[in-house]
Amino acid sequence: MDDAPLPEPAALPVRGPFTAGNAAAYLGRALRLRCPVCGEHPIFLPWRRVRSLREWLTPLEGCPRCRYRYDREPGYFLLATWAFNYAAVGGAALVAWFLLATFTSIPLLPMLLLLLIPMPVASLLFVRHAKSLWLGFDHFLDPFRKRTPRAPRP
Query: Does any domain span residue 71?
Result: yes
| Residue 94 belongs to some domain of the structure | yes
- 56-59's contacts with Cβ under 8 Å and 24+ in sequence apart are 56/124, 56/127, 56/128, 57/127, 57/128, 59/131
Distance, CA of 130 to CA of 77 (rounded, Å): 9
With contact defined as beta carbons under 8 Å apart, do 132 and 43 qualify?
Answer: yes
Q: Is residue 8 part of a domain?
A: no
Is 97 a residue whose pLDDT tops 70? yes
DSSP letter string, 76-141: TTHHIIIIIIIHHHHHHHHHHHHHHHHH----HHHHHHHHHSSHHHHHHHHHHHHHHHHHHHHHHH
Judge whether 14 lies within some domain.
no
Is the pLDDT at 139 greater than 70, yes or no? yes
Q: Tell me if 47 is assigned to some domain.
A: yes
Whether pLDDT at 5 is above 90: no
pLDDT at 14: 46
Residue 100 lies in a domain: yes
68 close to 37: Cβ distance less than 8 angstroms? yes
Q: Longest C-alpha distance within the chain, in Å?
A: 79
Average pLDDT, the chain: 84
Give per-residue pLDDT as tens, 28-57: 999 999 998 889 999 999 999 999 999 999
Print the domain residue range for 98.
20-141
CB 116 within 8 A of CB 7: no
What is the tally of structural domains in the chain?
Answer: 1
> For residue 151, is it within any domain?
no
Residue 18 to residues 14, 27, 49, 91, 132: CA-CA distances in angstroms?
A: 9, 13, 36, 27, 19
More confident residue, 70 or 145: 70
